[in-house]
């Protein structure tokens, strides 16, 4: 699944509910999921980590949709490597 397809899929599942909740409340849910990911990175197994990465990605996607940001388009910032130095891998100090 491409980034745009994933974002559209999350929109079909959650957009109306998430938009009604509001961006600020959605951001708090996102931060909570990032905290769960941090705990999983410290002590979780691979499956638990994967679940938490998926949750963070879903919340990021829904907030982008509310803000009318296409994440696939936004990801183009990194298409030529590091946005600052232009190298892959990054050669910044």
- Within-domain flag for 87: no
Q: Which residues lie below 8 Å from residue 65, measured CB to CB, with a gap of 6+?
A: 7, 10, 11, 15, 18
CATH number, position 36:
1.10.287.1080
With a cut of 90, say whether residue 32 has pLDDT above it: yes
Q: What's the rounded mean pLDDT across residues 29-45?
A: 96
Q: Locate 27 and state its tokens.
A: 């951001």
pLDDT, mean over the chain: 97
- pLDDT tens, residue by residue, 46-76: 999 999 999 999 999 999 999 999 999 999 9
For 26-55, what is the mean pLDDT?
Answer: 97
Rounded to an integer, the average pLDDT of 13-17 is 97
Residue 67 lies in a domain: yes
Residue 60, helix vs strand vs coil: helix
Q: Would residue 26 count as lying in a domain?
A: yes
- Indicate whether 58 belongs to any domain: yes
How much is the average pLDDT of 76-82? 97
Give residue 34's domain range: 3-78
End-to-end CA distance of the chain: give it in Å, rounded.
35
Residue found under tokens 């907030």: 63
Does 83 map to a domain?
no
């Amino acid at each position: 699944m491409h980034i745009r397809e994933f974002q559209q899929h999350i929109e079909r599942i959650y957009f109306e509910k998430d938009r009604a909740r509001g961006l600020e409340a959605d951001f708090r849910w996102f931060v909570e999921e990032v905290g769960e990911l941090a705990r999983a990175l410290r002590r979780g197994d691979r499956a638990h980590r994967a679940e938490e990465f998926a949750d963070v990605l879903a919340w990021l996607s829904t907030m982008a949709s509310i803000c009318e940001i296409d994440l696939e388009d936004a990801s183009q910032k990194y298409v030529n490597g590091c946005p600052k130095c232009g190298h892959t891998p990054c050669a910044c100090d």
